[in-house]
Amino acid sequence: MRVRQAANPAALDDMALARLCADREPAAVRHLLTANNQRLFRAAWSILKDRNEAEEAVQAAYLKAFGRIDQFEGRSALSTWLTRIVVNEALERLRAIRRRTTHLEAEGVSVLNTYREALMRGSEPAAPDAALAQRQLRDLIERAVADLPAAFRAVFVLREVEGMSVRETAEALGLEPATVKTRLLRARRKLQEALAPEVRSALEGAFPFAGVDCERMTARVLAALQIE
């Protein structure tokens, strides 16, 4: 039995929302996208460190997810299920990038350093009286996080920036909870060397993917699914 259209998709539980999305109910699909765009973008960026690659990974992951969302069983949160899909997509893309750049690695050029100049920037304009300070803080935070080892960076972004639980992070990355805790601790220690306490408190605002960026991703996926 299919779930009827709901006036407020945000009030649905994950199973009901997934069923409506499987039926391509526009309001439900749009809600799922806008509710998860930022988390999925952050997860993809934590692996790829490139804005364009991360956006492409998110779109591809959404299409894969919608292709089998009728199989969602609710064993984990729908957002965690989506995060795992985008993590796998990003890892596949990273492996492809590394294969394409083997000749650079042979010359001692790091694959990830190729993307250092393409670090993500904020998508929403800051308030006029704080634009410069906010931009400087974000740049400092993003550079420090980008310099973390890959294994630590993904855990840190999902736990500290996105606010996922240890269990959700472990499930999304295919790790043991104890490993998540250990990597997060090591990531924090490394960042303490680069970030003052008052700067670390600004992490919640880092890596934004909202406003125009969020709307654009939603429009792209809706168009791919042929939903108006």
- CATH number of the domain bearing residue 219: 1.20.140.160
Q: Quick check: 144 pLDDT over 70?
A: yes
CB of 27 closer than 8 Å to CB of 6: yes
Select from 70, 21, 68 the least CA-distant residue to 227.
21
Band of pLDDT at residue 10, cut at 50, 70 and 90: confident
Tell me if 69 is assigned to some domain: yes
3-class SS of residue 196: coil
Split into its structural domains, the chain has a count of 1
Long-range residue pairs from 11-17, CB within 8 A, at least 24 positions apart, any chain: 14/72, 14/74, 14/77, 14/78, 15/72, 15/74, 17/78
Select from 64, 97, 94 the least CA-distant residue to 81.
64
Q: Tens digits of per-residue pLDDT, 162-220?
A: 889 999 999 999 999 999 999 999 998 888 776 665 555 556 666 777 778 888 899 99
Tell me if 187 is assigned to some domain: yes
**pLDDT at residue 190, as a whole number:** 87
- Domain carrying residue 195: 15-115+128-224
**Percent of the chain at pLDDT exceeding 70:** 75
Query: Which tokens is 155 given?
Result: 């855990």
Tell me if 212 is assigned to some domain: yes
Q: pTM above 0.75?
A: no
